[in-house]
Amino acid sequence: MQKISIVIPFLNEKENLETLYKKITEVMDREMPDYEIICVDDGSIDGGPEILKNLAARDSRLKIVRFRKNFGQTAAIAAGIRFAAGEVIVPIDADMQNDPADIPKLVRKLDDGYDVVSGWRQDRQDAAVSRKLPSWLANKLISMITKVHLHDYGCTLKAYRAEVIKDIPLYGEMHRFLPAYTAWYGARTTEMPTAHHPRLHGKSKYGISRTFRVVLDLLVVKFLSNYLTKPIHFFGGAGILSLLAGFL
């Protein structure tokens, strides 16, 4: 049986961490016992890492990666991927809105011949104007530009074969584009509905400003999709135009 690496990026989620750990271990011990949990602390100041230290002292499957300051969710997920030892990597949010019970379902879907299975929060429990509407618009735009059509790029809960994401560099808000990146390299991608719960503890780290950052990163993604393997077509063309302008 393949080993599963569950990656949890978190920032100031003290109230949720122990509950999430218990729910994950309950599900995985029962259904897929060969697993590890990698918690990546993105500069928390609320005492959450101390809770995890106590849990890790009793469970060697729980590993903790700590950043000295806040670098963002993408950097945290990238660190988790780098430290993951499993053949399958499953990122999940720490806010208890994703359901750990969906992890085995996503992993088993890989056995149908897929390399990436993306969670789709069909019944999303978030504010309509500040969260759901910007997300809907972003998903439409990302799907149109990347040509990889998914309903919910923003859902952190996904299952990846480690071999298709280990060598992909991530920065900015690029973690949400991972299904598109992997598809460009030939990965077979699908999505399946997953549960979504209201946030009960802590504060959301998302806001409308993050949508604009995603759009800016999408421009980079568009450039990479068109010119990653032939950058001279872009820079050479720009150089020729500059040369002509200078000559004139």
pLDDT reported for residue 185: 82
Strand pairing class (88-91; 4-10): parallel
pLDDT reported for residue 146: 78
pLDDT reported for residue 127: 61
Q: What is the pLDDT of residues 163-181, one digit of tens each?
A: 999 988 887 778 888 898 8
- pTM here is 0.82
CA dist 106 and 109 (Å) reads 5
> Helix 208-227 to helix 133-146 angle, to the nearest 10 degrees?
0
Low-confidence ranges of the chain (pLDDT < 70): 125-132, 202, 204-238
Q: What is the pLDDT of residues 111-134, one digit of tens each?
A: 999 999 999 988 876 665 556 677
Q: In this structure, how many other beta carbons lie within 10 angstroms of the beta carbon of residue 216?
A: 10
Mean pLDDT, the chain, whole residue set: 86
pLDDT reported for residue 139: 73
When computed from its CA atoms, the radius of gyration of the chain, rounded to whole angstroms, is 19
